[in-house]
Structure 1
């Protein structure tokens, strides 16, 4: 039986991965969380090097998936030191502890390591982040690969999936505004129509990670840098239109054709996923199907909420 530590198991991706691995025989899953600690989840602050070392020494995992991060670009821009503590220093800490016990370690990174000017991006294209978030994740990639050659960075784009609240994903965070826009007298909801995104379903990512863990278990671990992405390009305006259609509401939306973000963001960071595609381990659920599943899980807010 292989032991897998899922660090950040209470987050959007971590929960999907724990569910995916829980469907497979032969896996012992040890989930950790910083705040949402319940059931068999272990409390762990990955910024505490001593606590991380003690956890890894006690659990002796065969593999570690590091899904905890500061993922909010505006927060990173306003407090880069705090972001680096989680996205860089903690990655180095986990990678070093994994090396001590011989565990394969997978760390989640982002398409924001690129500037968005020349997509699609292959794994060996030179990074050029535009903001503090992208820079912290790039430095986190380097920290992992320098600390533990038996590890892998998995770059991912915009994620969405089953949520605990709408704000967990930049996709589902649009739901309240979309719903409110249908109210009598409401102004159209402004939606970004400048940046192209590739929303990627967390259960699909969990499936990919499970396949990568199976590669490791067979002695064929993917190391270095890997990338995975959905393949449907859309702006937030396009996403909002599809959300409205899935909810069967007559939303009033306004396309913003110029970037209105205070924190600079890349325009199109489409990730080339051919490396993992070639291994035959990918899965891409169509967006309309996946967002329908997410929205049907619990009621959308009312126009007055």
Structure 2
């Protein structure tokens, strides 16, 4: 029985990973969470190195997938201690514990390790993060690769997928403003959307399949190590994403493009990730954005919830 521990299984990506792996009848999945843990998950604070070691010693997984992290750039900018605890120190604790029990470790990173000035970025291009989030994730990559005897970093861009609230993804977080801008609605005003930074929205069920395929390589004795990347292939600004969302929701929204960066925390312009290393292994799937976002919206009825 192949056993996988999914760390952070209650989050946007973690739920997709745990769901995908749980469909493998000859695998055992052990999901953990700190917030929003349900009765099927093990409560684990990854900032507690002793708790991490006890968990790995008890479960003895063959592989460990780390999807827990602090992903909000503004929070990382304002609370670097928290960012380091989750994105760097916890990775070290998990990788060290995995070493003691011979487990392969997969850690999730971000396109924000690059400055966005010279896309597309290969996995071996030199990083140059612009903000605290990118720096913390880059440090987490280095810790993983230095600590894990068998390990891999998977860099990902902007994620979206099945949600528990609109704010869980930077894609669906646009919906309340779009709904509030509908022509003819009381008090409706145009929604101003960033039309500067280019993103590559990537569907979490596709990422979960990528991770399952990587785990299958490990189970066959052909582990993927080092750094790999996966990304959607449709370039979009937030303004573009909002237009697609409004179309899927059939809303006559008033959307206004903002052509200059306005975020207090610096964001890169275009961090398109080259996925060639995984593609060469026959790994990957890309669901078209319009098809995928319709699935997300159908699972999360917007009519009663778009304001909250």
> Secondary structure of 2:108's partner?
strand
Cα displacement (A) at 1:298: 2.3
Pick the aligned partner of 1:198 from 197, 200, 206.
200
List, as ranges, runs of 4+ consecutive aligned residues in structure 1 with deviation greater than 2 Å: 301-305
Structure 2: gaps (5+ residues): none
- Map residues 115-264 of structure 1 onto 2, 5 A cutoff: 115-182=115-182, 183-264=185-266
Cα displacement (A) at 1:184: 4.0
Q: Encode CA deviations 1:222-253: one digit per residue, 9 max, x unaligned.
A: 00101000000000000000000000110000
Determine the structure 1 residue equivalent to 2:35: 35
Cα pair 1:2 1:27 within 8 Å, conserved: yes
What's the RMSD between the two structures over aligned residues?
Answer: 1.0
Given the superposition, is the C-alpha separation of residues 172 and 304 from structure 1 closer, same or farther in structure 2, using an over 3 Å criterion? closer
| 1:77 partnered with 2:56 | no
Pick the aligned partner of 1:268 from 267, 270, 274.
270
> Secondary structure of 2:5's partner?
strand
For 2:216 and 2:86, how far apart are their aligned partners in 1? 27
Given the superposition, is the C-alpha separation of residues 236 and 215 from structure 1 closer, same or farther in structure 2, using an over 3 Å criterion? same
> Secondary structure of 1:141's partner?
helix
| 1:288 partnered with 2:290 | yes
> Secondary structure of 1:190's partner?
strand
Cα displacement (A) at 1:149: 3.2
Cα pair 2:163 2:300 within 8 Å, conserved: no
Cα pair 1:176 1:301 within 8 Å, conserved: no
Cα pair 2:109 2:154 within 8 Å, conserved: yes
Cα displacement (A) at 1:24: 1.3
Determine the structure 2 residue equivalent to 1:62: 62
> Secondary structure of 1:153's partner?
strand
TM-score (norm 1): 0.98
Q: Number of aligned pairs?
A: 305
